[in-house]
Every structure is written in C-alpha cells, then in structure tokens.
Chains A and B, each alone.
Chain A
Amino acid sequence: MVVLEVETGEIHKVVIEPVESKDFRKLTKKRYFFNWKEERDQELYKIRRVDDAEILGLVSFERIPLEWRIHIRLLTVSIENKGKEKQYARIVGNLITFVAKEALKDYGEMSCVSLIPKSKLASHYMGTYGMRQTGVTLSVELPEILELITRYDHEGEK
C-alpha cells in the first residue's frame, strides 16, 4: 500500500500495524479528533510510512462473525492530513482496504465492511469507496472489496 505526497507527487510505501501502548500518549484529540483511549480494548490499527514513525491515520473496528461482517467504529486521519492542505492522500482508502482484507481473510466471499457516517457525508463515501447504502449504514461487499483491493493494495506499488 502507498500514500501520495500531495505537494511533491511522490509515492511512499506505508504499513498498517496494531497501535501499541506507548502510542497512546501521542494520540491526542487535537491531532486525531477522537478520544482513542476509549478504543484500547478494540482492534485498533495505525498507518505510517515504512520509513517514518509518524502516525498518519487510525482505525478501530469490531468483528461480527455471525454476520460475516466487520464494523468500523472509528476512523480518522491526523490533522495534517485533513482537507485541502493535506500532506498525504489515500490514507482513508488504505485503512478501509486493510479492514476489507481482514474481512476477506475471515469470511471469504461473504465478507462485508460497514460504517455509519453522518448522513450528509454518505455520498462522499459512496462515490469515493463504492459503498452501498442500507438505511443509515454504508457497506462494501464482495465486488466492492475486490475493487478496493485492486485500487489500494496494488496500484502505484510497481
């Protein structure tokens, strides 16, 4: 997986790995928008460049095996990567794709990844990540998961 440095157009390899206890002191609400300490007991992952310890984004999620589904609880980018002035692009796409791969590993063709954004933002997630809407919930299922993996897990790496 890679991120794109917006200013230079350079591509950088990234790694997504579990958040460690020592990371929590850096995960302030000011930089990462949510109280991440509340997610200590959940599956919680960070994304960073392979050559840099700086945390670019975070995701926490829960597996729901009876429904072959993983539900994203919290998802964010760091303050430097928000909005027009963002340093790197593709952070959120990489995080969603990572969760989608976890779902595929556990549930195969039955996989589903869901999240519930604020209603005014639903169209952004549907347009950008191919999510489908059921009530207030957005989800990606097999065809969209395969599409995400093609886009984010391969593209730009060669």
Chain B
Amino acid sequence: MKERNKRQEVDAEFGVDSRYASSRARKADGQALMKARLERMKNFSEEDIKRAKLMQLKLQMEDYLSKPVCSEKNFFTNFLSSYIDTIYSKRSSFANDIDITPVRLSQVLNNHRDPHEEFMLRLMVHSEKAFQGVCEFPQKTWYQIYYQDKICDTLLNEDEWKPKAEKHVKLRYDKKKK
C-alpha cells in the first residue's frame, strides 16, 4: 500500500494533461462543477471574502503598474473606491477613520480635487493596517498609481498644455568663459 502511494506521488508530480476533448465536454464539466461550487460558496466566511477582495485589489494594482495603460480612466480613484468599498459599507466611515471630511473624500473620488499629501500619507498608514495579516502591501503602491495616472494624463493632454508652456520656454546656451 505504501509503495503504491509512493508510485502515485511520482506519477502525479510529473504532470497532468487535463485538456478537454471537446467544448461539449468542457461545458458539461463546467455545469457540474458550478452546481457544486455554488453550494460550497454558501459556506465561505466573511473574513475569507474580505481577504480575497483585498488580495484581488493588490494583484490588480500590481498588474497595472507592471504594464500601465494610458487612458482617460483615473486608475487611482478607481482603485481607491474599490479599496474603501471592500472595507466599509459607507464611504463616510472611511473619511472619519482618516480624519477628513466626507465632502473632501467625495471630491477626490470624483476627480474634482487632487488628494493632498496628508491624504496620501493617511491612506498609506490605513492600508498598512488593513493589509496586515492579509498579504504584503508595499507602502509606495498608492503613490506609484497616483503618479502613473499623472504621467498618463500629462501625455494624453499634451495638446492642451504644451502651446502655453512653450511660450515660457527658451533654450539659450551660455557662452562658456575662456
């Protein structure tokens, strides 16, 4: 019996070929699996769901930073909204917890106002606490996302700011003293 188990382990570790023979087989398998999964999902703990959502957010933020996409979308406020909604049922509770007014938070989330430095620092401290015991969350992440958005925004709106900026810029080399 022991020898049989060892043999199985050796075979199992060399690999698995579990490619579906047909899309029909995949569909049938998926249906049976989904039925069983939906039953099991009923027993997921609130704690596990919260952990999963925070990890998902962190993985998505890392993914964005590893291959940033320049678009009109504001990733910082999108990620921030997800972060708050994962932890709180009311956004005003988050505002209270980092000691800012709900109005100010709303302005940041709606892209009507930039987050000031204090906001960013408090968000960093808040995240450190929230991710404790969940997974490692590098302190610099929020700043990286924020500045990545700024870079994209600047590049996308070059036509707007460049003509104005050019009026104020000259390039004159000083004559070097002999």
A residues with a Cβ closer than 8 A to B are 33-34, 64, 67, 69, 71-77, 81-84, 86, 92, 101, 104-105, 108-112, 114-118, 120-121, 123-125, 128, 132, 134-137, 139, 141-143, 145-146, 149, 153-154
| Interface check B81, CB cutoff 8 A | no
Q: Is the Cβ of B41 less than 8 Å from the Cβ of A110?
A: yes
B35-62 CB contacts (< 8 Å) to partner A = 36-37, 40-41, 44-45, 48-49, 51-53, 55-56, 59-60
Q: Is the Cβ of B33 less than 8 Å from the Cβ of A134?
A: yes
| Interface check B29, CB cutoff 8 A | yes
Contacts of B49 in A (CB 8 A): 109, 142
Contacts of B11 in A (CB 8 A): 118, 120-121
Q: Is the Cβ of A72 less than 8 Å from the Cβ of B10?
A: no
B1-49 CB contacts (< 8 Å) to partner A = 6, 8-20, 26, 29-30, 32-34, 36-37, 40-41, 44-45, 48-49
Q: Is the Cβ of B8 less than 8 Å from the Cβ of A109?
A: no
| Interface check B135, CB cutoff 8 A | yes
Number of interface residues of B (CB under 8 A): 38
B residues with a Cβ closer than 8 A to A are 6, 8-20, 26, 29-30, 32-34, 36-37, 40-41, 44-45, 48-49, 51-53, 55-56, 59-60, 63, 135-136
Contacts of A75 in B (CB 8 A): 15-16, 18
Complexed CA–CA distance, A104 and B51 (Å): 11
> Residue on A with the closest CB to B62?
A105
Q: Is the Cβ of B33 less than 8 Å from the Cβ of A121?
A: no
Q: Is the Cβ of B17 less than 8 Å from the Cβ of A34?
A: yes
Given contacts A64-B30, A141-B40, A142-B49, contact A74 B13 (CB under 8 A): no
From A83, A111, A115, A120, give the contact of B52 (CB < 8 A).
A111
Given contacts A77-B14, A121-B12, contact A149 B135 (CB under 8 A): yes
Q: Is the Cβ of B63 less than 8 Å from the Cβ of A105?
A: yes
9 nearest CB pairs, A to B: A76-B15, A116-B18, A105-B59, A124-B12, A109-B52, A83-B10, A134-B36, A108-B56, A121-B12
Contacts of B17 in A (CB 8 A): 34, 73-74
Scoring B32, B44, B55 by chain A CB atoms within 10 A of each residue's CB, the highest score goes to B55
Contacts of A74 in B (CB 8 A): 15-19
Contacts of B48 in A (CB 8 A): 109, 142-143, 146
Contacts of A134 in B (CB 8 A): 32-33, 36-37
Q: Is the Cβ of B37 less than 8 Å from the Cβ of A33?
A: no
Q: Is the Cβ of B52 less than 8 Å from the Cβ of A104?
A: yes
